[in-house]
């Protein structure tokens, strides 16, 4: 057995034994300990040999949450899966907020356990047979990091593409395979999607990884300087050439050269570039010596190069030479499951201390629903700004300062963007719908979100509705006449309460918890509904 090594932390001897048996039978290599403290001692000496930690939450000592905090600080790259008998959606969200990968509510079947584990690790038996496919052994650590959004270090984080959306994972997988070849790669996609990050990823995944990665932005260098910058020059080649200088091609010898925004290269220079790429040799400007090149060329463009070829703005022969392997990053809004992991990654990157700010659930929903015209770069800017505005260490929606249309049902928001189990997904959506409903954003005719935007500042905030009780209703209605007078809202609220009562077989406590209101407010609302003639299921 190789590769997939698990550390299991469980204080219940019988359960620990049963879990170890299940994992060993499934061909995972597994080490078990009976408390978080033992796990820490083990990790201090053996962290490099562990790929996943599964830990109980409720244990003597610092418990699973203490272990989570420790791992976040010292072993942030190892995913942690928590198990607890006290599972509620809230505690699950809290643990995930603090960095846990996922949450297993006890009791769970061995099938559920293995399903969860297989999302992060491959059993040893499969590991060797899958070497050549898209989950190769070497790909695993990256995929895990990408899924977990935790990064080994900020330094590494800078160049690491974070991905959780299936589309992006497939793209990275393809990029990794292309990286092994010598093919020129053309990366296209809208501005700020991460084309340069992907180019670096290809270089770092290639056999040239230890050699230089040199990037040149063809749009940022004046036309008359671009040629000299690319190909170098000899002393006296032109006015101001006081000494010989190597170009980017030479500097990239043995490694990779990224021609960023290649679409902006003047046509005359395109011809010279083509020659170099055909012959793999160049002469510096003003020089006579031929310099042989061993460089892998990567290029990016956020323009439609094919269209530019049609319009005569880009050479067709050069297009085919650099476009040997085309890769495209879609706009961020088209890979929505990347949004939250990327946002968390940006926070990690920009937090000054080890205490990384967390995203509130409401902020996550806001990020999720926004259209991101500036893609990941905009997301990064928004999070940097939010870190400055946030006063609590928790990013709230207002810290994001996004002013796009807020359309809650546009995307249903998964609790954990990349791994929501159906139940948790349903829970999250129900919660989300409840909030939207309270915000009067549901159109009763279609049952879809869509309150007119101009109403938004005339409506109460969710917490104000939460705090509604017998005493403050008069003030509330005075402050928010539109809201209270809205028969539409009443209908929606009644429907929601009845549906939730039905779902929880009338259990008031669960219903109140689900709706995010106090049991007292729920009683008050049910009494009103009874007065109106509703039949309320008994608890
Ligand atoms: N998948 C990703 N993981 C981590 N960071 C990312 C990712 N994608 C983009 N970024 C970050 O977003 C910002 C923009 O990325 P990058 O410069 O690679 O975009 P680009 O598509 O090359 O933009 P442009 O077309 O404007 O040159 C950078 O700060 C980068 O680190």
Q: Does residue 189 contact residue 302 with C-beta atoms inside 8 Å?
A: yes
> Ligand 1 centroid vs 268 CA: distance in angstroms?
29
- Helix ranges (H only) for 35-163 are 36-46, 63-74, 89-97, 110-118, 124-129, 139-148, 154-159
Query: From the CB of 341, is ligand 1 less than 6 Å away?
Result: no
> Ligand 1 centroid vs 420 CA: distance in angstroms?
26
For the segment 316-345, what is each residue's pLDDT rounded down to a tens digit?
999 999 999 999 999 999 999 999 989 988
Question: Running DSSP on this structure, what letter comes out for residue 48?
Answer: G
Quote the pLDDT of residue 20. 86
ipTM given for this complex: 0.99
* H or E element at residue 173: helix 166-179
pLDDT band at residue 459 under the 50/70/90 scheme: very low
> Ligand 1 centroid vs 349 CA: distance in angstroms?
13
Atom of ligand 1 nearest to the CA of 158: 31
Q: What percentage of the chain reaches a pLDDT higher than 70?
A: 71
pLDDT band at residue 353 under the 50/70/90 scheme: low
> Ligand 1 centroid vs 314 CA: distance in angstroms?
24
Q: Does residue 255 contact residue 212 with C-beta atoms inside 8 Å?
A: yes
Same fold across 5-129 and 334-400: no
Nearest to 305 by CA among 132, 189, 442, 445: 189
Instruction: Report whether CATH 2.60.120.260 matches the domain 334-400.
Output: no
CATH number of 180-330: 3.40.50.300
CATH topology for 5-129 is Rossmann fold (3.40.50)
Tell whether the model's pLDDT for residue 85 goes beyond 90.
no
Q: Residue 430: CA atoms inside 13 Å, Cβ hemisphere, count?
A: 20
Domain boundaries along the sequence of the chain:
5-129, 180-330, 334-400, 422-531
Q: Does residue 331 contact residue 193 with C-beta atoms inside 8 Å?
A: yes
For residues 138 and 478, what is the distance between their CA atoms, to the nearest angstrom?
A: 63
Q: What is the DSSP string of 84-109?
A: ESS--HHHHHHHHHTT-SEEEESS--
For residues 450 and 447, what is the distance between their CA atoms, to the nearest angstrom?
A: 9
For residues 388 and 401, what is the distance between their CA atoms, to the nearest angstrom?
A: 12
Nearest residue (CA) to ligand 1, atom 29: 377
Q: Does residue 202 contact residue 185 with C-beta atoms inside 8 Å?
A: yes
**495 Cβ partners below 8 Å, 6+ apart?**
none
Query: From the CB of 376, is ligand 1 less than 6 Å away?
Result: yes
Query: From the CB of 191, is ligand 1 less than 6 Å away?
Result: yes
Backbone φ and ψ for 213, nearest 5 degrees, come out as -115, 115
Question: Running DSSP on this structure, what letter comes out for residue 413?
Answer: P
> Ligand 1 centroid vs 172 CA: distance in angstroms?
14
Higher per-residue confidence, 536 vs 186: 186
> Ligand 1 centroid vs 318 CA: distance in angstroms?
25
**20 Cβ partners below 8 Å, 6+ apart?**
8, 30, 32
- As a whole number, mean pLDDT of residues 435-456 equals 36
Residue 326, strand partner residues: 186
- As a whole number, mean pLDDT of residues 442-457 equals 36
Give the range among 27-41, 254-268, 432-446, 467-481 with minimum mean pLDDT: 432-446
Nearest to 203 by CA among 178, 167, 220: 178
For residues 396 and 415, what is the distance between their CA atoms, to the nearest angstrom?
A: 16
Quote the pLDDT of residue 312. 94
For residues 289 and 283, what is the distance between their CA atoms, to the nearest angstrom?
A: 6
Query: From the CB of 345, is ligand 1 less than 6 Å away?
Result: yes
Nearest to 332 by CA among 173, 216, 102, 161: 161
Q: Does residue 420 contact residue 428 with C-beta atoms inside 8 Å?
A: yes
Q: What percentage of the chain reaches a pLDDT higher than 90?
A: 33
pLDDT band at residue 522 under the 50/70/90 scheme: confident
Atom of ligand 1 nearest to the CA of 217: 27
Query: From the CB of 51, is ligand 1 less than 6 Å away?
Result: no
Nearest residue (CA) to ligand 1, atom 16: 194
Token pair for 213: 């990665």
**155 Cβ partners below 8 Å, 6+ apart?**
none
For residues 175 and 143, what is the distance between their CA atoms, to the nearest angstrom?
A: 13
Query: From the CB of 167, is ligand 1 less than 6 Å away?
Result: no
Give the range among 110-114, 218-222, 250-254, 478-482 with minimum mean pLDDT: 478-482
Query: From the CB of 300, is ligand 1 less than 6 Å away?
Result: yes
Query: From the CB of 356, is ligand 1 less than 6 Å away?
Result: no
Query: From the CB of 477, is ligand 1 less than 6 Å away?
Result: no
> Ligand 1 centroid vs 51 CA: distance in angstroms?
28
Backbone φ and ψ for 257, nearest 5 degrees, come out as -120, 125
Quote the pLDDT of residue 8. 94
């Amino acid at each position: 057995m190789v590769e997939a090594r698990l550390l299991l932390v469980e204080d219940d001897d019988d359960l620990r034994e049963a879990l170890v048996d299940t994992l060993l039978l499934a061909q995972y290599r597994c080490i078990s300990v009976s408390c978080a403290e033992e796990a820490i001692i083990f990790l201090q000496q053996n962290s490099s040999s562990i790929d996943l930690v599964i830990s109980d939450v409720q244990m003597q000592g610092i418990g699973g949450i203490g272990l989570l905090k420790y791992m976040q600080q010292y072993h942030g790259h190892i995913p942690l899966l928590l198990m607890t008998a006290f599972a509620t959606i809230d505690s699950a969200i809290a643990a995930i907020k603090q960095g846990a990968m996922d949450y297993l509510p006890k009791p769970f079947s061995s099938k559920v356990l293995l399903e969860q584990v297989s999302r992060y690790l491959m059993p040893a038996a499969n590991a060797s047979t899958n070497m050549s496919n898209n989950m190769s052994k070497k790909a695993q650590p990256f995929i895990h990091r990408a899924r977990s959004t935790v990064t080994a270090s900020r330094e590494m984080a800078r160049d690491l593409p974070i991905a959780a959306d299936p589309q992006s994972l497939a793209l990275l997988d393809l990029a990794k395979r292309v990286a092994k070849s010598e093919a020129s790669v053309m990366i296209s996609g809208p501005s700020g999607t991460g084309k340069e990050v992907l180019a670096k990823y290809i270089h770092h995944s290639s056999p040239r990884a230890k050699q230089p990665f040199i990037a040149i932005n063809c749009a940022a260098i004046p036309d008359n300087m671009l040629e000299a910058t690319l190909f170098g020059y000899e002393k006296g080649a032109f006015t101001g050439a006081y000494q010989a200088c190597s170009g980017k091609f030479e500097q990239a010898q043995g490694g990779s050269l990224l021609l960023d925004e290649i679409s902006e290269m003047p046509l005359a220079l395109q011809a010279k570039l083509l020659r170099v790429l055909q012959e793999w040799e160049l002469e510096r400007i003003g020089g006579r010596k031929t310099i042989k090149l061993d460089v892998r060329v990567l290029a990016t463009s956020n323009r439609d190069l094919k269209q530019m070829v049609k319009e005569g703005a880009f050479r067709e022969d050069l297009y085919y030479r650099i476009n040997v392997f085309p890769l495209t990053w879609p706009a961020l809004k088209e890979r929505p499951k990347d949004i939250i992991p990327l946002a968390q990654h940006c926070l990690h990157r920009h937090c000054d201390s080890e205490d990384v700010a967390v995203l509130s659930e409401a902020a996550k929903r806001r990020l999720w629903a926004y259209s991101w015209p500036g893609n990941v770069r905009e997301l990064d800017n928004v999070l940097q700004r939010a870190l400055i505005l946030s006063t609590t260490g928790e990013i709230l929606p207002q810290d994001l300062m996004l002013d796009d249309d807020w359309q809650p049902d546009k995307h249903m928001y998964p609790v954990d963007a990349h791994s929501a189990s159906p139940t948790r997904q349903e829970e999250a959506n129900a919660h989300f719908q409840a909030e939207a409903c309270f915000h009067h954003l549901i159109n009763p005719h279609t049952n879809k979100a869509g309150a007119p935007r101009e109403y938004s500042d005339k409506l109460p905030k969710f917490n104000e509705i939460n705090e509604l009780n017998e005493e403050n209703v008069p003030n509330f209605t005075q402050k928010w006449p539109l809201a209270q007078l809205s028969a539409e809202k009443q209908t929606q609220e009644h429907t929601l309460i009845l549906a939730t009562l039905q779902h929880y077989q009338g259990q008031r406590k669960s219903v109140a918890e689900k709706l995010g209101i106090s049991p007292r407010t729920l009683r008050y609302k049910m009494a009103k509904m009874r007065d109106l003639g509703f039949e309320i299921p008994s608890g």
